[in-house]
Structure 1
Amino acid sequence: MDKIKVKLRNTPKKTGVYLFKNKTGAVIYIGKALNLKSRVKQYFDGRDTRPQIPFLVNDVADFDYIITDNELESLMLENTLIKKHQPKYNVLLRDDKNYAFIKIDYDTEIPQIYSVRNPDSKNAKYFGPYSSAGKIKETLNILRRVFPYCANKKVSNRPCFYYFLHRCPGVCVGKISLSEYEKTIQKIILFLGGHISEIQKEIQSQMLKASKTKQFERAADLRNQLQSLHIIEERQKVIFTQKVSWDFVSCFQSTDKATINVFVIRNGKLNDRKNFILENTENKTEDEIFSAFLENYYSQTTYLPKEIFVQQLPKELSALTKVMTLNSGRRIKITKPRIGKKAEIIKMGTENAQEYFESWATSQATELSRTTLALDELKKVLKLSETPMRIECFDISNIQGTNSVASMVVFEGGKAKKSEYRKFKIKKDGKPNDFAMMEEALTRRFKNNGENNWALPNLLVIDGGKGQLGVAVKVLKKSGLKIPVIGLAKREEEIFIPGKSNPILLSKSNHALQLLQRLRDEAHRFAITFHKKLRSKQAYKSALDDIMGIGPKKKKILIQKFGSVSGVKKAAKKELISILGEKTTKDLLENL
Structure 2
Amino acid sequence: MLNKKAISSLPPSTGVYLFKKNKEILYIGKAVSLKARLLSHLENAKLDPKEALIVKNSDRIEYYLTDSEFKALLLESALIQKYHPKYNLRWKDDKSYLYIKITLKQEFPKVFTVRRENDGKSLYFGPFPSEKDVEEILRVIRRIFPFCLQKKISKKPCFYSKIGLCRPCPNEIANLPDDKIKSGLKRIYRYNIKQLIRILSGNLQLVLQDSYKLLQKFIKNQQYEKALILRDKIQRFEQIIYQTQFSSDISIHFNRSAEAVEKLKISLQAYFPSLKKLHRIECYDVSNLFQKDATASMVVFIDGMAEKSEYKRFRIKSKKARSDFEMLEEVFIRRFKQDWKQPDLIVVDGGTPQVLKVKQILKANPIPLIGIAKHPDRLVINSSHKLITIRPPSNNLGFNLVRSLRDEAHRFARKYHLLLRSKRMMI
TM range (shorter): 0.3 to 0.5
Taking structure 2 as the reference length, what is the TM-score of the superposition?
Answer: 0.40
Question: Which of the two has higher C-alpha Rg?
Answer: 1
The answer to which structure, 1 or 2, has the higher relative contact order (CA under 8 A, 6+ apart) is: 2
Taking structure 1 as the reference length, what is the TM-score of the superposition?
Answer: 0.29
